[in-house]
A and B are shown apart, each in its own frame.
Chain A
Amino acid sequence: MTLLEFASGPGLQWALWIFVFGITWRVVGAVFLLSRKDISKPRHTNTISAGLGAVWSRSSPARAFEKKIRFQHVTGYAWHFALFISVLFFAPHILFFESVLGFSWPHLPNTIILITAIVATAVLIALLIRRATHPVQRFISNADDYISIFVVLVPLVTGILAFTHFGARYETLLAVHLLSVEVMLIWFPFGKLMHMIMTIPARFQAGTAFGRRGVKA
């Protein structure tokens, strides 16, 4: 079995099992702790829409805060946008997703993907540097913060290398790329990459809690 065969076969399967297992474990385990039902008289009763509203509105900071967090605001958008374009609209990636999902969607030219991937990598490196140097971020950071950046950064770099056939033979680069993605999938449920899933319930519960008090979350 070659490295590539391992990476696209058993390696991928195990990574996916751990990924799915870990996510359900953590989400169910946290949500199932349950909270007491709030029986105070609500100011507004339509808490569902308030919750959904918060899922949307927390994507951009309130006016009073925007100036202070502009760097993170802009880089945050640049990072996620560039990442999602690179992951979701690269033709080989779409074929990868199609092999499990059974459906596909239009792709973008590789040149654009190369640009977004380089942007994503550059922004992530900038964020890494910020985390290592900004007084607050450096102070509050733990291993998870760095591991989570690392396990996302490596697939990006190996992806770009594989795409450009640079540094080693293509099948080796592709295998390493896949393996790095698998490492990311395995780490995902255990670290803060989980925010990809948790953001929705967290924002939603904030929206409902504020909403019933008549406050826009």
Chain B
Amino acid sequence: MRKDQNLGEYLRMQGVSRRGFLKFCSATASLMALPPSAVSQVAEALATARRPSVIWMSFQECTGCTESLTRSHAPTLESLIFDAISLDYHHTLQAAAGHGAEAAREAAMEENKGEYILVVDGSIPNGNNGYSTIAGISNHDMLIEAAENCFAIVAVGTCAAFGGLPNADPNPTGAVSVSEIIKDKPIINVSGCPPIPVVITGVLAHFLTFGTIPELDALGRPVAFFGQNIHDRCYRRPFYERGQFAETFDDEGARKGWCLYKLGCKGPTTYNACATLKWNQGTSFPIQSGHGCIGCSEPRFWDKGGFYDPISAGQWGSRDALLGAAAAGAALGVGSALAARARKKKAQAAEEI
């Protein structure tokens, strides 16, 4: 694809019909919670959009986010859109290597100064920079350099967004999220471990359409995708209301598809689009396949108690501590009673008429 070619031309060249394209546009518009009247606007904007330059940096990550995006079993419009951007640097996907690759990155940054989008997956080791380096440059330094002239940053995956698994206790590398290092650029957190592919492309489509940052929630996530929690949209919700729960993964309730709350489902506290968009071209999502949500799109999901502990379970502390509190209370009680009894004795002894 030529750089001056717009997206509409490119898609037509790839054999995507007008009908197919509009279908994608309306899906994108609905994803972004736009009214139906906005579909033509989206279509027009997308068809004439110039290909933005995207620099994708991978730090402490597992490549799962990239896999999520690229391992769809059939080519999709989402992946085509992804192809349509000018992906000038991506470790995993680029053909170039070594100094050539770094040179391409520097060239793209120079050429699109202030306009390119920086996509980051993976967390940044902030404890010892030596934990992760690329071409001898620490993740930290590379991020700061790349962020300096970008238009916006998209933190893809929970690692980049919130620190993710590398950040899990005891966090040996001192892993932090992008937002903990970069404070002066708009950052869009597309969390999830991995994020839903269409959510990644949806955010890029928003850029292409409007050239702006989408509305974000308190955690910097696009409200269009992270505005509602899994529980509220879960097809098993009626079983929750009726009090029908699977008690184990192989009981009658589990077979009947009852609510997984008791098995530790984190749906009620997890904000993501899994229950509506689902995965693998809308095939299924974890709860549908019989496992509770583990809350992977939430900060520190790895450290919030066991995946199989119900949300309402509390950490009561040890039994010994409670017994200790009781013993201390009893001791104070006896002490105060003894003092009061001494006072009573004194009052009884003092015979004054």
Contact = CB atoms under 8 A, between A and B. Distances in A.
B89 interface: no
A57 B171 CA distance: 60
A38 B97 CA distance: 96
A110 B269 contact: no
Contacts of A72: none
A31 B245 CA distance: 45
Contact of B316 (A16, A26, A27, A91): A16
B232 A109 contact: no
Interface string B290-328: 000000000110001100011111111100011001111
Interface string B255-270: 0000001100000110
Best-buried of B300, B312, B327 by chain A (most CB within 10 Å): B312
B334 interface: yes
B329 A24 contact: yes
Contacts of B241: 109-111
Interface string B312-353: 111111000110011111101110111011001000000000
Contacts of A66: none
Given A9-B315, A170-B269, 8 more contacts: A5-B304, A20-B329, A27-B333, A28-B329, A29-B337, A92-B311, A110-B241, A110-B243
Contacts of B99: none
Given A25-B330, A28-B337, A29-B334, A108 B312 contact: no
Contacts of A174: 268-269, 311-312
A178 B341 CA distance: 39
B316 A29 contact: no
A56 interface: no
Contact of B312 (A18, A96, A109): A96
Best-buried of A9, A18, A32 by chain B (most CB within 10 Å): A32
Interface residues of B, number: 43
Nearest to A17: B325
Contact of A24 (B242, B245, B316, B333): B333
13 contacts: A4-B269, A16-B325, A17-B317, A17-B325, A21-B325, A25-B330, A28-B330, A29-B333, A32-B334, A99-B309, A99-B310, A110-B240, A110-B243
Contact of A109 (B242, B269, B340): B242
A92 B314 contact: no
A95 to B, nearest CB: 4
Contacts of B60: none
A95 B313 contact: yes
A20 B326 contact: yes
Contacts of B221: none
Given A16-B322, A17-B321, A28 B334 contact: yes
A72 B322 CA distance: 36
B140 interface: no
Contacts of A20: 322, 325-326, 329
A93 interface: yes
Nearest to A114: B241
A189 B251 CA distance: 42
Nearest 5 A/B pairs, CB to CB: A28-B333, A24-B329, A32-B337, A29-B333, A92-B312
Interface in A171-193: 171, 174, 178
Contacts of B231: 165, 170
Nearest to B259: A91
B209 interface: no
Interface residues of A, number: 44
A45 to B, nearest CB: 28
Nearest to A7: B314
A95 B316 contact: no
B179 interface: no
A107 B259 CA distance: 14
Best-buried of B245, B315, B328 by chain A (most CB within 10 Å): B315
A101 to B, nearest CB: 9
B155 to A, nearest CB: 19
B36 to A, nearest CB: 27
Nearest to A170: B268
Contacts of B321: 13, 17
A13 B326 contact: no
Contacts of B336: 25, 29
Contacts of B245: 91
B66 interface: no
A98 B316 CA distance: 11
Interface in B77-127: none
B229 interface: yes
Contacts of A171: 268-269
A100 to B, nearest CB: 4
A12 B327 CA distance: 19
A2 B311 CA distance: 14
B316 A2 contact: no
A198 interface: no
A201 interface: no
A143 interface: no
Contact of A100 (B262, B305, B316, B334): B316
Nearest to A110: B241
A29 B328 CA distance: 12
